Structure 1
Amino acid sequence: MSRFAEALASRTQIWGGWVVAPTIIGPEEFAAAGYHYVGFDVQHGYLDDADVAMLLRRTEHLPIATAVRLPSADPAPIGRVLDAGADAVIVAMVENPDQAARAVAAARYAPAGVRSFGPLRASLGHDPAALESRVSVFVMIETARGLAALDEICAVPGLAGLYVGPADLAISMGFAPADAWTHPEVRAATARIRKTITAAGLVAGIHAGSGKLGNLFAQEGFRMITLASESQALRRGAADHLSDAIGETRRATERGGYN
């Protein structure tokens, strides 16, 4: 069992950070803050295979699970990140059960799948069954077509769960990205997705984008919730520090200077 599966087995919710660019300390800071997993974004981020392999190696001894988001169910990229030690893969833009089945197959060796054998980390061992068992496969529901095929996708054997992309879902439904968290139709679709995933016995995940939205989605029953990327966390921390500094300077000026 991987750290990802262990976290899900021991908690109602697991909270995630997100990394979109090469970083030395990002995963370490998420781990130190108490996050349960960190996602590495190969779909929208500025990460290549070498970057992901380095980041996965750096997290090997950290108390945090790892997931990698990939743009498709292409078995070669999925196999490479799993060979490098990813605990989970999140496959984007899945719209039908065939795509979901291909994502699962990419994480399984023959005869159940099409994954090629080639572990890169000695610590993972060389037992195909053990290597398979530590991998959690998630597919993303983030389009109207995916929403229409939700029941069929949830029925695909081998999935650990489904992960909602609210912004793309809103766009696909004809709304603006900002409507993802406020428009009644999008919110109703998100709630329906969560209920269907849970009823199928799978893990319901979502990309929240903030702590407040993460709390909202946790109350609604989502279990795997990504809160912020390293760039968002840096921006918020930097803004808070600047605000504190400006505030202290103003208060000192109003008092006539520092003593």
Structure 2
Amino acid sequence: MDLTGASALVVGGAGGFGEATVRRLVQAGAKVVIADLAADKGKTLADELGEQAVFVPTDVTSDESVEAAIAAAVELGPLRAAVVVHGGPAAGKRLVNRSGQAYPVETFQRTIDIFLVGTFRVVSKVAAAMSQNEPLDSNQRGVIITTASIAGFEGQVGQTDYSAAKGGVIGFNLTAARDLAPTGIRVVCIAPGTFFTPAYRMEEAEAQAKWGPGVPNPKRMGHADEYAKLALSIVDNDYINGETIRIDGAQRFNI
């Protein structure tokens, strides 16, 4: 997929994975919409990248907000690539706590709304926009990359809601790719392992010392740009479709 003269959308574009992906997409020749709730970071990144990027405040739980971000991308050029990599709150609590209290259903629902329903909302609306594109080689109109987690395969203690949400993203990936095949739109999911991002709220050296040794090879946390490079490889290779790709240094979670 050649992005020269095209637009791209990165939902969560002001965060760790998102910022790195925005930069890679700009380098590939796309004009990029940075869609995020983090206005200060998003505007700063857009200002740095100049005419190649624009920030649009975006809430993945709102149809109108997502549609506005997509419309902004279409104004920049044919929307050929979308990467859904937004974050959100993670409670990290067991189903029943030490006091015998059950995990709140409302918290579970909120996590599902953000990570699973929010991802589906973006995918479906982006696909509708991409379906209007003129086809390129092999009848390709666009590519959508979603972001799961290895927690969607083997979640850790306290990750019931997060694992369910990310497992859902993995679960609908192949079906979405098959649904959109007649329109020439690919759907691919990336499932990252332990990556260092600003979400850790600590210095990288401290995080690497704590979590890096648990990764088989290379024995360190991943870098956000390694996610971004994989995303660009997926965009570039039209034959990657319907797959969930783990990028985790061969890491598997054990209880």
After TM superposition, the score normalised by the length of structure 1 is: 0.36
TM-score normalised according to structure 2 size: 0.37
Larger radius of gyration: 1
Q: RCO greater where, 1 or 2, for CA within 8 Å and sep 6 or more?
A: 2
